[in-house]
Amino acid sequence: MTLATLAFLLAAAQPVAAEGFEQPDRWTAAASDGVASNVSAVPGDDGQALRLDYDFGAVSGYAFAARTLPIDWPDNYVLRLKLRGRGDVNDLQLKFTDASGDNVWWVQKLNFRPSAQWQELCIRPRDLEFAWGPAKDKSLRRTDRMEIVLVRGRDGGKGHVEIDDLTLEPLPPAPPPSPPKASDPAVLDGDQSTAWHGRAGQSLTLDLGAPQRLSALLLDWQGAAAYRVEGSQDKRAWQTLRTVDAGDGGHDPIALHGAEPRYLRIRMIGEGDLAEVAVKDIDWAPTPNDFISRLASQAPRGRYPRGFTEQPYWTLVGTDGGAIAGLIGEDGAIEPAKGSYSVEPFLTVNSAPVDWAGVITSQSLVDGYLPIATTRWQGQGWTLESTAFAQAEPDEPRLLGRWRVRNTSDQPRTVTLTLAVRPFQVNPPAQFLAQRGGVSPISAIRWDGTRLHIRQPGPVAGDPPVDRLLTPMVTPQSVGMGGFDQGALATPETLPSATHVEDEAHMAHARLSWTMRLPPGETLDVPVAFAGSAPADVEMALAQTADQWRQRLGSVTIQVPSARQELVDTLRTALADILISRDGPALKPGTRSYNRSWIRDGAMMSDALLRLGVNDPAIAFADWYGGHLFANGKVPCCVDFRGADPVPENDSHGEYIHLLAQLHRYTGDTALLARHWDRLDAARRYMDGLRLSERTAANQTPDRQMLYGLLPPSISHEAYSAKAQYSLWDDFWGLAGYDGALYAAQVLGKPQASAIAAQRDQFAGDIVDAIDAAARHWSIDFIPGATSLGDFDATSTTMALEITALQPRLDQRLLHNTFDRQWRRVTSRATSTDWDDYTPYELRNVSAMLRLGQPQRANDLLAIYMRDRRPAGWNAWAEVVGREPRAIRFLGDLPHAWVASDYIRAALDLFAYEDKASETLVLGAGMTGDWLTGQGVRIDGLRTPYGALDLAMAGNAERMTVTIGGGARPTGGFVLRWPFAGAPPATRVNGRSAQWQGDALRLPATGQPQRIVIGR
C-alpha cells in the first residue's frame, strides 16, 4: 500500500488507508537513556509491516517509532491499527503531535500484552485525549507527526511489536441516542401493566439502530428472573455479555463496559416478567466507578462509601518501612492493602439500622500522634470505635482492626455489629495515577468456619487471582454473602446466610455479624486480623505497637505550652507517615497514587529525618538511589520497580549531591561520603555540562539575558509539565548541589575542590543576574518561578532561602515583595472564592517568613495551614487541599510524605534553623509570647549540621531565660532572636554582660552550656 495525501482521501469520505507501512524507511526508531530500539520491515498480511524491537534493560523508559504524518482530523472517525508481537506486559501509546511539537494527543493502552496473532485496535474520538502542551484550545484538528511507543510497564524486558494497516475512516456525525426498538414495544413504553412475560428459552431482542458503545442495561423485573444478556452485530452470531441466574428481581443494573453491539438480546433461563428496559450509552457510566456512583446517587446516603458521592478523607496505618500499609477511612472502613477490598461497619441499635450518614464522627490517634488510628461514631447512648494499626512482628507483620461498641446510656441496648466485606477500596474513585481508587473487584468469597477467603482478580488480564484472608478473633454469630445480582450491595445487613459465593460481575460481598444485649457501660469488642494469623491478645499487640512507635518517634524531645501541643503531635505523626510511606529503602510520597521514589522528595524527606535523628532511612535511600544513576552521571528524577526514569528534570542532580553532603554533615560518616564520591562527582560534571549549555552568546541578547547560565528548561516543576521552562527551582537546587560537591571535595581532600568552587561562584552570580534580568524583562516586582515566564511562585522561591546562601545577594525589594504577596494570597483565602485548591507544599513559606524576620507571619501562616489537616484528628495533609472540603477532587496521596517533610522542617525552624550564608544557627526565630509563657519551650537532641542542640526558652518582655546546650558548634556561632516588641533589657550570658545588635544576640559556639538571662 502507498500513502496518499490524507486530506484528499478524507474528502472522499470513504474508508482509506493512511499508512500501509510499505516504506519502513520513513519511520525512525529512538529510545530513552538505557533503552534500545530498532525498526525494520517484516512480511505482513498484504505486503510489508513495520517491526519495532525494544529492550528496556534495567531501566524504566520508552522505545518508539516515529514519522512525519500530516493528518487533518474529521469530527467523527474510527482509527484502526493492526498489531501483533512478542513480549511481556508493558504500556502501548499512539501519539500525535502538532507542527510545533509542543502539543500532544494520545491513546494509552495500559498493561498491553502483544499476541502472536494480529489484533485490531479501534480508536474513536473519545479515546484520543489531549496529553499535554500549552495549547488553550485542545481540540484535535491537525497533527503532523505520529509515534508508536512502548513504555516500560509492569514487566519490561525485551520484545517486539509489528504494526500494519493504519486506516482512518471518516464517519458521519454521531447521531443522538435513540431508544432501542424491541420485538414487543410495550416493554419500553413505561406501561408497567403490560410487562413482557418470558419463559425459559424465549428471548427479547433490542435493535439499537447501529453499533453503540454501551455502559449499562437497566432492567426492571416484576419478581425474580434468571436470564442471559447477549450482544450481536448481525443477529446471527451472539456473544454472552452477562448471565444472571441468582438475581432477586426488581431493578437489575447490568454493567456492559466495553460492549459495542448493534443488537441486544435478553434470553430467559427461567420465567420472568420484564416491566421496563433502559439502554445506557458509554457516556452514562464509562467506568466501573461511574457505574457504582450512579447507583450510589440513587441509594440513601450512607449505604455506599462516601467517596462515590462526595469527598472522603482517610489516613495511613502501617509498619516502618512499608511492609504493611493499610488505610482507615474517616467513616470507619479499613483497607488492608493497596488495591484491596475493604471492611466497613454497619450497626443496628434496638432494631434501628445505622451507617456513617446517621452519626457524628470524630477521629483520633493514640497519644495524639501515634499511627494507631480510630474513627468514632457517636450515637444517642452508644458509640462505635473503628481502630486500625499494624503490628511489626519480625516474621509476620500484620494489619489489625478492632471494632468496639459501647453502651453509654443507662438502659440496656441490643446491638448488631455487621462488618461488610465490600468490593471497594477506602482509597476513593477520584484517586488515580499508580492506583485507581474506588471499585476493587471480588470474584469469590468463602467462609471456612474461622476465616474468610477472599479472591480478587489479578491486576492485569491473564494474571493469577490474588487470595486474601480475613480472620475475626471473635466468631461471628452469622455469616452471609452474595453476588451483585442479589441486590444487597447497598444493604449488606440483609445478605442471606451463606458460606460461599462466586460472582461473574466480580462484585461479591459478604457480612460477618455479632448481636449482643449490652448492659449500661458494657462493650462489644470485635478484633480482626487481615492476612496471616491472629495475635493471641489484640490489646497487648496494640500496647506493644504503641511502645515501639513512641521509641521510634521520640529521639528529639519537645515540650511546649498545651495550646501548642498539636504542633508537636503533628510533627511526630508526620515522621511516622514518612516512615510508613517508604518501600524498604525507597522514600516515597505516598502509598496509593504514587508508586515511585523521587530524588527531590527523598532529599527533602531526608533533611527532615536527619534533623530528628532518624538517620538510617536517609542512608538506605542514598545507597539505593545511587545505584540507579545513568552511566553519564545523569541523576534520574525518579525510580520505581521498573528502574530509573529517563525524563530530564534538572533539579535532580543538585538534590542527589545535596543529600550525600547532608548525610555527612549530620552523621560525620566520612567512609559513606567516600563510597559515594565517584557518583557524586559524575552527577556534578553532568550538571555542569547542562549549565554551560545555556551560557552562550545567544542567551546574552537583551530578550534572553534572564536565561543566561541557568540550567536548561525542564518539567521538574509541576506547573511546567505542559511545556518545559527555565525553572529557578532547578537552579536553586543546582546551586545547593555545587555547595554539596565542594563540601564533599574538601572533606575528602579531592583536587577538584578549587574548580568546583569556581563553578559554584559563577553559577550563583548567573542566577542573581538572571533574576534581575527577568524582573526587568517581565516588568515584575517579585522573584519569578521561571525566568522564561515571569510567573509568581513563592513556594518554589523558598528554596533560595532554605538550601542556598543566596539570601543576602538577592534584590531585597524583589525578595520581600515575593513573600508579602504570598502572605496576602494565603490570608485572603478565608474570605475569597477566586481559588479552588492549593498544595500544602506551601508550608515552606513558614520557614521563609522566619528567615525574613517575620515570626508573627510565620505563626499565623502555620495556624492557617494547620486548619487544613483533614481530618484534623489524624494530623495529616493531602497533596491537594480544596476550598470546598466535600467537593470531589484528586488529592494526590493522603497522607503525603513530602508535604509531611515540609511541615517537619517548618516546625523545627521555629526553634532553630541554619543560616547558610553566615553558617550560624538561628535560635528562637519563631517564638512569640504565647510560646514562652509559663514553663515556655524546651527541645532536646535537635540535630543540626554542627551537632546536637538543646534549647530552652521561657519568660516575657521583662524577663526571659534561655539555655543553650548539647554541644552544637556552628562555624559562625549562634544568633538568638528577640521575640518581643521593643528593645531587649539588659542581658547576661553565663553571668557576663552581653549586647544585642537590633533584635539579634550573637553568641560564640563554645561547645559548653550557655545560660542567657534577659532582664531582671
Number of domains in the chain: 5
Q: If you count DSSP H runs as helices and E runs as strands, how many of each does the chain have, helices first?
A: 16, 54
Query: pTM (2 decimals)?
Result: 0.94
State how far Cα 580 lies from the chain centre: 14
At 49-87, the pLDDT tens digits run 999 999 999 999 999 999 999 999 998 999 999 999 999
Phi/psi at 869 (nearest 5 deg)? -70, 135
Among residues 118, 141, 170, the one where a domain terminates is: 170
**Residues 535, 454 share a domain:** yes
pLDDT for residue 818 is more than 60: yes
What Cα–Cα distance (Å) separates residue 664 from each residue in 139, 285, 602, 667? 52, 55, 16, 5
The predicted model gives 10-26 an average pLDDT of 64
Would you state the cell numbers that stand for residue 775, as one nine-digit string?
524582573
The predicted model gives 217-228 an average pLDDT of 90
The predicted model gives 227-245 an average pLDDT of 94
pLDDT for residue 190 is more than 50: no
CA trace torsion 853, 859, 860, 864 (10° rounding) = 130
**Residues 943, 812 share a domain:** no
Spatial neighbors of 834 by CB under 8 A, at least 6 apart, are none
**Residues 590, 739 share a domain:** yes
Per the listing, cell 486548619 goes with: 867
Strand 250-255's sheet: what is its strand order?
196-198, 272-281, 214-221, 250-255
Residue (of 918, 872, 863) closest to 895 by Cα position = 872
Strand 239-244's sheet: what is its strand order?
181-182, 203-207, 263-268, 227-232, 239-244
**Residues 714, 640 share a domain:** yes
Question: How high is the pLDDT of residue 248?
Answer: 80
**Residues 680, 643 share a domain:** yes
CA trace torsion 720, 723, 729, 730 (10° rounding) = 140
The predicted model gives 889-899 an average pLDDT of 97
pLDDT for residue 223 is more than 70: yes
**Residues 615, 712 share a domain:** yes
pLDDT for residue 427 is more than 90: yes
Q: Which helix (H) or strand (E) holds 669?
A: none
Q: Which helix (H) or strand (E) holds 292?
A: helix 288-298
pLDDT for residue 177 is more than 80: no
What CATH number does residue 935 fall under?
2.60.40.1180
Does residue 160 form part of some domain? yes
The torsion region of residue 173 among left (phi > 0), alpha (psi -120 to 50) and beta comes to: beta
Would you state the cell numbers that stand for residue 285, as one nine-digit string?
457510566
**Residues 609, 538 share a domain:** no
Structural domain range at position 93: 6-170
Q: How confident is the model at residue 44 (pLDDT cuts 50, 70, 90)?
A: confident
At 828-875, the pLDDT tens digits run 999 999 999 999 999 999 999 999 999 999 999 999 999 999 999 999
The answer to whether 492 and 389 have CB atoms below 8 angstroms apart is no
Cα–Cα distance, 184 to 139 (Å, whole number): 42
At 79-129, the pLDDT tens digits run 999 999 999 999 999 999 999 999 999 999 999 999 999 999 999 898 999
Question: How high is the pLDDT of residue 708?
Answer: 98
Cα–Cα distance, 552 to 320 (Å, whole number): 9
At 443-458, the pLDDT tens digits run 999 999 999 999 999 8
Question: How high is the pLDDT of residue 475?
Answer: 96
Lowest mean pLDDT among 202-206, 224-228, 230-234, 651-655: 224-228
Residue (of 706, 713, 821, 691) closest to 768 by Cα position = 706
Does residue 1 form part of some domain? no
Does residue 293 form part of some domain? no
What Cα–Cα distance (Å) separates residue 302 from each residue in 289, 342, 346, 359, 462? 17, 15, 10, 10, 35
Cα–Cα distance, 123 to 260 (Å, whole number): 13
**Residues 936, 859 share a domain:** no
Among residues 884, 910, 936, the one where a domain terminates is: 910
What CATH number does residue 255 fall under?
2.60.120.260
At 592-606, the pLDDT tens digits run 999 999 999 999 999
Among residues 518, 551, 584, the one where a domain terminates is: 551
Does residue 927 form part of some domain? yes
Spatial neighbors of 81 by CB under 8 A, at least 6 apart, are 94, 120, 121, 123, 163, 165, 166, 167
What CATH number does residue 123 fall under?
2.60.120.430
Lowest mean pLDDT among 166-180, 343-357, 445-459, 578-592: 166-180
Residue (of 224, 215, 287, 285) closest to 251 by Cα position = 224
Does residue 211 form part of some domain? yes
DSSP 490-530: T-GGGPPB-SEEE-TTSB-EEEEEEEEEEPTT-EEEEEEEE
Does residue 270 form part of some domain? yes
Residue 562: other Cβ atoms inside 10 A: 7
pLDDT for residue 174 is more than 90: no
Lowest mean pLDDT among 268-272, 712-716, 916-920: 268-272
**Percent above pLDDT 70 for the chain:** 96
**Residues 27, 159 share a domain:** yes
Spatial neighbors of 309 by CB under 8 A, at least 6 apart, are 293, 296, 297, 301
Lowest mean pLDDT among 16-25, 197-206, 696-705: 16-25
Question: How high is the pLDDT of residue 250?
Answer: 86
Question: How high is the pLDDT of residue 459?
Answer: 84
Average pLDDT score, the chain:
93
Would you state the cell numbers that stand for residue 297, as one nine-digit string?
446517587
Does residue 291 form part of some domain? no
Would you state the cell numbers that stand for residue 290, as one nine-digit string?
461511574
At 318-335, the pLDDT tens digits run 999 999 999 999 999 999
Q: Which residue has the higher pLDDT, 461 or 255?
A: 255
**Residues 190, 152 share a domain:** no
What CATH number does residue 726 fall under?
1.50.10.10
**For 590, how many CA atoms within 13 A lie in the half-sphere containing its CB?**
25
Does residue 68 form part of some domain? yes
Question: How high is the pLDDT of residue 192?
Answer: 40
pLDDT for residue 777 is more than 70: yes
**Residues 451, 326 share a domain:** yes
**Residues 868, 924 share a domain:** no
Q: How confident is the model at residue 194 (pLDDT cuts 50, 70, 90)?
A: low
pLDDT for residue 561 is more than 90: yes
**Percent above pLDDT 90 for the chain:** 87
Would you state the cell numbers that stand for residue 649, as one nine-digit string?
528534570
Cα–Cα distance, 178 to 687 (Å, whole number): 61
